[in-house]
A and B are shown apart, each in its own frame.
Chain A
Amino acid sequence: MNELALLIASAIASGTPLAIAALGLIINERAGVLNLGSEGLMLVAAIAGFATAVHSHNQALALLAGAGASALLCALLAGLLIWLQTNQYATGLALSLFGSGLSAFVGIGYTHENLGAHPVTGLPGLSRLPFLGPALFSQHPLVYFGMLLAAFSSWFFFRSKSGLLLRAVGESPEAAQALGYPVRWIRCAAVVAGGALIGLAGAYVSVVSTPLWVEGMIAGKGWIALALTTFATWRPARALLGAYLFGGVTMLQLHLQGRGVSVPVELLTALPYLSTILVLVLISRNPRFIAANMPASLGKPFHPGA
Chain B
Amino acid sequence: MFKLVPRAEPSRLASLLAPLVALALTLCLGVLLFVLLGKDPLRALEMFFWEPIKNLRAVGELSIKATPLLLIALGLSVCFRSNVWNIGAEGQFILGSVGASAVALAATPESSPLLLAGVLLAGVLGGMLWAALTAFLRDRFHANEILVSLMLVYVAEQLLSYLVHGPWKDPNGYNFPQTITFLEPTRVPRLVAGTRANWGLLTAPLGVLLLSVFLRRTHAGYKLEVGGLSPLAARYAGFSSQSALWTTLLLSGGLAGLAGALEVAGPVGQLTTQVPLGYGFAAIIVAFVGRLDPVGVTLSSVLMSMFYIGGEMSQSRLGLPKSITGVFQGLLLFSLLTCDTFVERRLRFTGFRRSAPRVP
Q: Is there direct touching of A and B in the complex, by C-beta distance under 8 Å?
A: yes
The listed residue (B80, B155, B165, B281) touching A97 by CB distance below 8 A is B281
List A contacts of B329 (CB < 8 A).
Answer: 97-98, 101
A264 to B166, CA, bound (A): 10
Interface contacts (Cβ under 8 Å), in number, total 137
Binds A, one of B49-57, B200-208, B317-325: B317-325
* Chain A proximity of B59: nearest CB distance (Å): 26
List B contacts of A280 (CB < 8 A).
Answer: 137, 143-144, 147-148, 151
Name the residue of chain B whose CB is nearest to the CB of A94.
B333
A84 to B338, CA, bound (A): 7
Asked whether A144 is an interface residue with its Cβ less than 8 Å from the other chain, the reply is no
Asked whether B293 is an interface residue with its Cβ less than 8 Å from the other chain, the reply is no
Interface size class of A (residues with CB under 8 A): 35 or more
A92 to B142, CA, bound (A): 22
A65 to B12, CA, bound (A): 43
Asked whether A241 is an interface residue with its Cβ less than 8 Å from the other chain, the reply is no
* Chain B proximity of A72: nearest CB distance (Å): 14
* Chain A proximity of B128: nearest CB distance (Å): 19
What 1/0 mask marks residues of chain B from 73 to 89 whose CB sits below 8 Å from any chain A CB? Answer: 00000001000010100
Binds B, one of A9-17, A102-110, A152-160, A170-178: A102-110
List B contacts of A120 (CB < 8 A).
Answer: none
List A contacts of B142 (CB < 8 A).
Answer: 284-285, 287, 290
* Chain B proximity of A274: nearest CB distance (Å): 6
- B321 touching A105 by the CB < 8 A rule? yes
What 1/0 mask marks residues of chain B from 145 to 181 whose CB sits below 8 Å from any chain A CB? Answer: 0111011101100110110011000000000000000
- A276 touching B327 by the CB < 8 A rule? no
Asked whether B226 is an interface residue with its Cβ less than 8 Å from the other chain, the reply is no
- A273 touching B154 by the CB < 8 A rule? yes
Q: A273-B151, A277-B151, A285-B142 are in contact. List 11 more A-B contacts (CB 8 A).
A: A80-B338, A85-B341, A85-B345, A90-B80, A99-B330, A101-B329, A102-B327, A230-B147, A269-B158, A270-B154, A277-B155
A264 to B162, CA, bound (A): 8
Asked whether B210 is an interface residue with its Cβ less than 8 Å from the other chain, the reply is no
The listed residue (A97, A227, A266, A284) touching B285 by CB distance below 8 A is A97
A223 to B161, CA, bound (A): 22
List A contacts of B334 (CB < 8 A).
Answer: 80, 91, 94-95, 98
* Chain B proximity of A195: nearest CB distance (Å): 16
Q: Top 3 closest A-B pairs, CB basis? A: A101-B326, A98-B330, A104-B323
Q: Would you list 7 pairs from A and B whose C-beta atoms are within 8 A, ordered by A residue? A: A36-B146, A90-B337, A98-B327, A102-B327, A264-B166, A273-B154, A274-B151
Asked whether B279 is an interface residue with its Cβ less than 8 Å from the other chain, the reply is no
Residues of A within 8 A of B (CB): 36, 80, 83-87, 89-91, 93-95, 97-102, 104-105, 107-108, 215, 220, 223, 226-227, 230, 264, 266-267, 269-270, 273-274, 276-277, 280-281, 284-285, 287, 290, 303
- A84 touching B162 by the CB < 8 A rule? no
List A contacts of B281 (CB < 8 A).
Answer: 97
List A contacts of B288 (CB < 8 A).
Answer: 90, 94
* Chain B proximity of A93: nearest CB distance (Å): 6
Asked whether B141 is an interface residue with its Cβ less than 8 Å from the other chain, the reply is yes
A45 to B142, CA, bound (A): 32
List A contacts of B87 (CB < 8 A).
Answer: 93
- B4 touching A84 by the CB < 8 A rule? yes
A230 to B147, CA, bound (A): 10
A139 to B302, CA, bound (A): 50
